[in-house]
Structure 1
Amino acid sequence: MQDLLRSVSESYKDFSSGQKKVGDLFFREPIFLAFSSALEVGRRVNVSESTVIRWTQKLGYKGYAEFQQVVQRKLAQERLEQAEQETLEPDADQSFLENLLDADILSIEKLKQSIDEEKLLQVVDMISFADHIYVTSNFFDYGLAHWFSGWLNMAIDQTEMLVSSDGQFYSQLSRVGPGDIVIAFVFPRYTKVMLETLQTAKEQGAEVIVLTDSADSPAAEFSDIALPVAVNSNLNIDSYTAVHALLTSIMRFVYVKEHAKVKGNLARIEEMYKKKDIFY
């Protein structure tokens, strides 16, 4: 938000008298401009609607609507950063547990703000059309990978774990090729064997989807699609709350896209549960 305020300040001397009134209102009440029409802004400072529109154009925007979208986005980002700072400084009126849970809630809010839904839908399409799906991970992320791989295999078949410590790892890796996808969980600390596995998969023609902590992750270099999602860390214990939220979203999208197949597979498994009298 500060960069936008600075831009208005630097252009102020070039404004007409009416435009300066709009600028002054923006300095005082940016939220009013973010959520009010150009007509309402003009009435507030006794200038015409066209004066407000020309003011935004003088700042380099196509019109008032584009300027307003930028202001709304910057205010939202500023609010998010403030919330993050407040989380980093625990609320003395809350318990330790409540502060930890607030940090997890914030991590999901950050995911909501940053996730690229188009990329997520591409991931769902890749899963749907893959000949075979391999799920792999750093050893710290094994639980996530095992859970997600198990659900995919149960729901749509043709999924298996690719684990470097497993005796059949190199046999599996040799079969990875065109038409297959590798879904990798690569959160710090990054392992050399993981990066080598992704490089090999790419060289053999497979597509690679990486879930990692940032766009700067070394694993992103080998990905066709990277889905960055922040991992919260308190007391040196990583919280994967936002990662679970992202995976659950992917699973739900897969369920919708492949509804008949998933429903049939789950029904078949349920029949086996009943046949073997699994549950109390």
Structure 2
Amino acid sequence: MQDILRAVSNSYKDFSSGQKKVGDLFFQEPIFLAFSSALEVGKRVNVSESTVIRWTQKLGYKGYAEFQQILQRKLAEEHFGKTELKTAEPASGSFIENLLDADIASLMKLKETIDEELLLQVVDAIRYSDRLYVTSNFLDYGLAHWFATWLNTALGHTETLMLSDGQYFNRLAKLKTGDSIVAFVFLRNTKSLIETLKLAKERGVEIIVFTDSQDSIAAGYADLVIPVSLDSNLNIDSYTAVHALLASIMRFIYVKEHEKVKKNFSRLESIYKEKDIFFDEQL
């Protein structure tokens, strides 16, 4: 990462005024350039897509794609180099240590197997949906509610789509092309969920399924399938890897929709203050 920073710093004086805007954004938010298109970067700083591409060529890269690929790798190396964890010896440590080691192993497996291009497709599907609905088996309701709540707060276009909700049929009737559904389907497929996905498919809705089995019935209705393994000990299933993956998606959305998310959270914070919701932590 340091070599890219040095290259930008050394070349800065030779940049055009537009290229300097791109350079400034890189210094402030390198992760935005790592996971956004040249067009998105250009819009962020009010320059053309071609200006962004020429900026990378000025740094010695063939184009934006090569620069982005290398930047992504450098950021990953920098991050994981600081957090790399060693796997514990089998049967060593206390009971709680072994359980936590199992969660750590599931995170490491996720790190090694995740398809980042697929993940970014999911991020864009969520961002560009006219309306986004989140559904799940009743066993995964907490996961769906948490994810939908954050997305609606951040983007303002998300609702849950659960049979137990009084608005279920009303929302079901409104499904149309341009909408998307995120479905959490772990362990077992409920009949009501499959019926929801079947109807959504008929209406032309884009379906995104998070599941521990790509062979599940729900995956057969999906446009995008994101496999995530669950760790199970003593019949208690750990969703650690699922939460980590969703947190990554949320962070990508925050980066790509920064102004909208910031504005929506600021509006919510104003209501909190107006209604005196929280105790003053400074007291």
Q: TM-score range by the shorter chain?
A: 0.5 to 0.7
Following superposition, the deviation at residue 171 of structure 1 comes to 1.6
What residue in structure 2 maps to residue 179 of structure 1? 178
Following superposition, the deviation at residue 167 of structure 1 comes to 2.5
Following superposition, the deviation at residue 247 of structure 1 comes to 0.2
What residue in structure 1 maps to residue 78 of structure 2? none
Following superposition, the deviation at residue 221 of structure 1 comes to 0.5
CA distance in 1, matches of 2:194, 2:242: 20
What residue in structure 1 maps to residue 209 of structure 2? 210
Query: Structure 2 stretches of 5 or more lacking a match?
Result: 1-86
Partner-residue secondary structure (3-state), 1:160 = strand
What residue in structure 2 maps to residue 243 of structure 1? 242
The letter for the 1-side match of 2:219 is: A
Following superposition, the deviation at residue 213 of structure 1 comes to 0.4
Q: Say yes or no: does 1:109 pair with 2:105.
A: no
The letter for the 1-side match of 2:112 is: Q
The letter for the 2-side match of 1:106 is: A
What residue in structure 2 maps to residue 121 of structure 1? 120
What residue in structure 1 maps to residue 267 of structure 2? 268
The letter for the 1-side match of 2:137 is: N
1:1-280 map, 5 Å: 90-91=90-91, 93-280=92-279
Partner-residue secondary structure (3-state), 2:199 = helix
CA distance in 1, matches of 2:164, 2:99: 34
What residue in structure 2 maps to residue 80 of structure 1? none
CA distance in 2, matches of 1:140, 1:109: 25
CA distance in 2, matches of 1:183, 1:262: 19
CA distance in 1, matches of 2:165, 2:268: 26
The letter for the 1-side match of 2:249 is: I
CA distance in 1, matches of 2:176, 2:184: 19
The normalised TM-score by structure 2 is 0.66
Partner-residue secondary structure (3-state), 2:135 = strand
CA distance in 2, matches of 1:252, 1:166: 28
The letter for the 2-side match of 1:251 is: M
Following superposition, the deviation at residue 206 of structure 1 comes to 0.5
The letter for the 2-side match of 1:158 is: H
CA distance in 2, matches of 1:176, 1:101: 41
CA distance in 2, matches of 1:167, 1:191: 19
Following superposition, the deviation at residue 193 of structure 1 comes to 1.2
CA distance in 1, matches of 2:112, 2:167: 40
CA distance in 2, matches of 1:259, 1:170: 33
Following superposition, the deviation at residue 216 of structure 1 comes to 1.6
Following superposition, the deviation at residue 270 of structure 1 comes to 0.6
Following superposition, the deviation at residue 115 of structure 1 comes to 0.8
Report how many residues are paired.
193
The normalised TM-score by structure 1 is 0.67
The letter for the 2-side match of 1:181 is: S
Query: Structure 1 stretches of 5 or more lacking a match?
Result: 1-82
Following superposition, the deviation at residue 168 of structure 1 comes to 2.2
CA distance in 2, matches of 1:279, 1:166: 28
Partner-residue secondary structure (3-state), 1:209 = strand
The letter for the 2-side match of 1:219 is: A
CA distance in 2, matches of 1:109, 1:218: 27
Following superposition, the deviation at residue 198 of structure 1 comes to 0.7
Q: Identity rate of aligned residues, in percent?
A: 62
CA displacement, residues 224-271 of structure 1 (integer Å, 9 cap, x when unaligned): 101000011111111000000000000000000100000000011111
**Which of these two proteins has the greater Rg computed from alpha carbons?**
1
CA distance in 2, matches of 1:99, 1:170: 45
Partner-residue secondary structure (3-state), 1:211 = strand
Partner-residue secondary structure (3-state), 1:205 = coil
CA distance in 1, matches of 2:173, 2:232: 36
Q: Aligned-residue CA RMSD in angstroms? A: 1.2
The letter for the 2-side match of 1:276 is: K
The letter for the 2-side match of 1:235 is: L
CA distance in 2, matches of 1:164, 1:237: 25
Following superposition, the deviation at residue 214 of structure 1 comes to 2.3
CA distance in 2, matches of 1:271, 1:168: 28
What residue in structure 1 maps to residue 75 of structure 2? none
Name segments (4+ residues, structure 1) moved above 6 Å. none
The letter for the 1-side match of 2:197 is: L
Following superposition, the deviation at residue 158 of structure 1 comes to 1.1
